[in-house]
Structure 1
Amino acid sequence: MSIHGLRKLWPALSAHVVLSRAQKVALGLSASIVVAALVWAPIAALQVIIGCIILVYGGAIAFRIALVWAAGRQEHRVWVSDEEARAVPDDELPVYTVLVPAYREPEVIHLLMEHLAGLEYPVAKLDVKLLLEAADETTIAAARAQLPPDSHVQVVIVPESQPQTKPKACNYGLQLARGGLVTIFDAEDRPEPLQLRRAAVALARLGPAYTCLQAELGYFNPNQNRITRWFTLEYACWFRSLLPGLVALRMPIPLGGTSNHFRAEALRTLGAWDPFNVTEDADLGMRLARLGHQVGVLHTVTLEEANSDFINWVKQRSRWYKGYLMTWLVHMRSPRETWRQLGWRGLLCLNVFVGGTPLTAMLNPVFWAMTILWMVARPAIIQQLFVAPVYYLGLLCMVLGNITVIYLNVLVARQMNRPNLLWSALISPAYWVMMSIAAAKAGLQLLLRPSYWEKTTHGLHLSRTPADGE
């Protein structure tokens, strides 16, 4: 069930095959039409293609502005005060399963134990499962060395099988879960101590219509280098503005990879996570919406480790982008059915937010190159390709897009009271170059190794000295 559960339950929603037969036919037909148009009337065809792409850019910018505006009212987060969270007697709290998938991470196991011990939840009601791959002997040994015989943390060995992915491990752990509620933490996570209590109280208050609550994710090492500063700003925009904005506009939420709190039984009926999708969280968020489940954003924070190494960052981001593309393709197999289940708002979110994010990152270098070429040599072909309306719209997108990104990053730096992030916010368009590199890699891997899970190395912050600060 950990591998083929979703495939058997909802075969049309599984990424075990990335492109359906109908999608392959449609893609081949579209490519043939484009090639024929480029041969028959190349300039006119390129004008139309560029015009369509710039319209997509404009729509994506407007969409994000709308999300930030909608989130600004702060009324679409779920709030549970400290007093309310602690008011529930221990014996009335539900059993809570915490799944912690880890792979080749022996160096952070001791920190994981400390952070789990900091959870303000009765130990008798905690069902913590540390999910380790059978071949990962080093991490297994480190975990067993850290755990006392009477520990409430159970080491679960995930049998070796393909695909070897985080969602497969989580599915395996879910089969053994005792809790009525379940959440996921990564091995390096530092969840806020009251998070489980807040989630339990919130889900009880909201009722069975709500299947999942997504906590806010942030980083504990924002000052490590420029990459971690940009990453911190990006995450703050994502979880403080964009996701609450999606909730406010009644759109599906692409979940984060950790600190999402589920009703266990509802999760099982959904088919749990797709082991073939490398961004299983975003896919599950779309599936929740399609099958009529509501998702909220919970006001509580889990701190993670921001990726500080360029190569490591590209590995992680390319995996995310690849998974977003997979999710988009899976849920666009039957556009009419998706429209029926999600409505126009959900379909807009799927195309602009999920599919559009990696696709625009792929296309950015093409337009950057044309802009530089025009500024340096002013070739006539560029002027031919950009007819006046398209040129002015493209110019507006370039100016407004950069201003919007910079403004949002400055805004979240102010909201977080982190003036040291201001310079990083002002030069944040340079971060897009990294995103484009990752998007290009994601596209290539989608073709060659769609379900390959490229491992992200954690614990890079451990080599820093205290003077580096957090």
Structure 2
Amino acid sequence: MARQPRGRAVSRPRVGEESEEFRAAALDDAVNGLARRHPLASAAVAFVPWQKYTAISVAALIAISAVLAPLPTLITLTVICILGYTAMMIDRLLIFSRGLDASAIVTVTDEQARAVPDRDLPYYTILVPAYNEPEVVGDLIAAMTSLDYPADKLQVLLLLEEDDDVTIEAAKSSGVGDVVDIVLVPAGDPRTKPKACNYGLHFATGSIVTIFDAEDLPERLQLRRVVAAFESLPETVACIQAKLAFHNGSQNLLTGWFTADYALWFGYLLPGLMRSASPIPLGGTSNHLRRDVIEEVGAWDGFNVTEDADLGVRIAASGYSTAVLDSTTLEEANSDPINWVRQRSRWYKGYLQTWLVHMRRPRETFRALGPVGTYRFTLLLAGTPITACINMIFWFTTAAWILGQPDLIAALFPPYIYYLSLVSLIFGNIATIYMYLIASRESDNAYLLVPSLTMPLYWVMMSVAAIKGCWQLIRNPSYWEKTFHGLSVPGSTKETIDEPAS
């Protein structure tokens, strides 16, 4: 069984008393540490030469084929896309079915969480990266003070860029320093969350490290539940991911879609991935990590814009695993479409970044993850954004057929392709909506019925975000698009969180 260190906290310089030499070295390590130690494991370079030349060669081959034999080329591409859709849907249903098993998620009761005496609890560090978010500092204080964990064993580090004057001033004036330590991250590119977390790790004293966003509201026993879970799980478990949900899911249709999306992902798909021994792309917050493993696998990649997904894959590739815990952290769902597209496009870009990084050495990745793990890793991290992009093409094709039935589209879909694509369309959409309905029902959110039934509209937004993310991957791969918070309105807050029974 896993056993967490019970001794003294790791010795680190006191926040605010570190030397300039220490700050410079810590910043350099935060940005370039992984790229220096394991160059091929970092997204500092988006495409290594062989990937770039392969992509150019494939594009050239398709272009030449389209000129010489346009119809056969288009039919071949259509068949490949349909087979890809089918493979993803079958795999998604398989993962979902495994996530239906209650044992797929780790449950720790209140009594078990409180059973560990305070003196035996490990030292814990919470990293809270924030940038240009003065409006959520007050939420941070409330969330951290509500946690049930001994104050003398809990370290909370608010990671702020040193030139983020508005958030620094808001933090100081709110009295946040009485609850957490403010760590000023030296300004510089890339301005990413993983860079801030890597820098904060140099000040972390806990043997368990977790990340919360400044607006997060974690369930008060979450840290104790994590400690109890680590005690009962095999020592190969390096990370425990808590579930994420939203407190403003009923604000508008977009937040409803987002909430249903998370209910399915964290309630069923992640537990299903855990049961199938596949790599688990971690959530951006509430992933509780053994500090020794973080350091062993190289911490976060300062250049990857979905550092959580990348770290989850590296954990799996290093022989460790991730468990999903039945404890919920509430976040704020994006209620603004433009803001949502900015966030989702970054996620899609980061998924592709992560896939490209780990496929630089395909044989090593295959050996580390195994055939099923590599297959599922490819479907999830590469297939999800690529499929979302292709969706737009097929939607336009369907609209053109309905409006005018052009001969080209008829030629593209001879009977053997037409019926296969029709089955994929009908079965795939019904199955996906059914999964959303199950996830929404089990989360006791009756207001999610309409969002679940209107999911195809949400998929249009996903397609827009995926196209934007793919374009950014080429033009500006490590650019971190800021997601603005504090947009929820009164009256849209979910008042309770479903937690394990006492």
Task: Give the shorter-chain TM-score range.
Answer: over 0.9
AA partner of residue 113 (structure 2): A
Supply the AA of the counterpart residue of 2:77: I
Give deviations 1:428-461, integer Å, cap 9, x for gaps: 1110011011111101111111100000000111
1:377 aligns with 2:404: yes
Does structure 1 retain, via aligned residues, the 8 Å contact 2:144–2:179?
A: no
1:57 counterpart = 2:82: no
- Mapped to 2, the partners of 1:136 and 1:254 lie a distance apart of 30
2:431 to 380, 394, 404: 404
5 Å-filtered alignment, 1:337-348, equals 337-348=364-375
Alignment equivalent of 2:378, drawn from 346, 351, 364: 351
The question of whether the paired residues in 2 share the 8 Å contact of 1:163 and 1:451 is answered with yes
Alignment partner of 1:418 is 2:445: yes
Range with greater deviation from structure 2 (163-172 or 385-394): 385-394
Q: Does the 8 Å CA contact 1:359/1:439 hold for their aligned counterparts?
A: yes
Distance (whole Å) between structure 2 residues aligned to residue 465 and residue 30 of structure 1 = 52
Equivalent residue for 1:324, pick from 351, 356, 375: 351
Q: How many Å separate the matches in 2 of 1:265 and 1:165?
A: 23
Query: Which piece of structure 1 moves more, 306-315 or 413-422?
Result: 413-422
Question: Which aligned pairs between 1:178-197 and structure 2 lie closer than 5 A?
Answer: 178-197=205-224
Q: Conserved in 1, the CA contact under 8 Å of 2:145 and 2:179? A: no
Secondary structure of the residue aligned to 2:103 is coil
**Residue of structure 1 in register with 2:18 after alignment:** none
Unaligned 5+ segments in structure 1 are none
Residue 270, structure 1, aligned to residue 271, structure 2:
no
What pairs with 1:101-250 in structure 2 (closer than 5 Å)?
101-147=129-175, 151-250=178-277
What letter corresponds to residue 45 of structure 2 in structure 1? Answer: V
- State how far apart, in whole Å, the 2-side matches of 1:182 and 1:409 are: 32
Mean CA deviation greater in 343-352 or 198-207: 198-207
Partner deviation per Cα, 1:87-144 (whole Å, 9 max, x = no partner) = 1111100000000001111111011100110000000000110000111011111111
Equivalent residue runs for 1:58-97 within 5 Å = 58-97=86-125
Is 1:450 aligned to 2:477, yes or no?
Answer: yes
Look up the SS of the partner of 1:417 in the other structure: coil
Superposed CA RMSD in Å reads: 1.1
Find runs of 4+ consecutive structure 1 residues off by over 6 angstroms.
Answer: none
- Which SS does the other structure have where 2:30 is aligned? coil
Partner of 2:490: 465
For structure 2, the 5+ residue unaligned runs are 1-28, 495-502
TM-score, length-scaled by structure 2: 0.91
The answer to whether 1:3 aligns with 2:31 is yes
CA offset digits 1:305-347 (Å, max 9, x no partner): 0000011001100010110111111111122111111111111
- Is the Cα contact below 8 Å between 1:405 and 1:429 reproduced in 2? no
- Matching residue's letter, 2:467: A
CA contact (8 A) 1:322 1:446 kept: yes
Aligned equivalents of 1:338 and 1:148: distance in 2?
A: 43
Counterpart CA distance in 2 for 1:207 and 1:251 is: 16
User: 3-state SS of the aligned residue for 2:155?
Assistant: strand
Q: Is the 8 A contact 1:115 1:191 kept in 2?
A: yes
Given the superposition, is the C-alpha separation of residues 442 and 148 from structure 1 closer, same or farther in structure 2, using an over 3 Å criterion? closer
SS at match of 1:295: strand
Cα distance, 1:148 vs structure 2: 6.3
Query: Shift in Å at residue 67 of structure 1?
Result: 0.7
Q: CA deviation at 1:208?
A: 2.6
Whole-angstrom distance in 2 between the partners of 1:226 and 1:204? 41
Residue matched to 1:37: 65
Give distance in 1, aligned partners of 2:46 and 2:414: 37
Give the whole-Å Cα distance in 1 for the aligned partners of 2:285 and 2:245: 11
1:304 corresponds to 2:336: no
Report the Cα distance in structure 2 between the residues aligned to 1:76 and 1:469, rounded to whole angstroms: 29
Name the SS of the counterpart of 1:437 in structure 2: helix
Secondary structure of the structure 1 residue equivalent to 2:214: coil
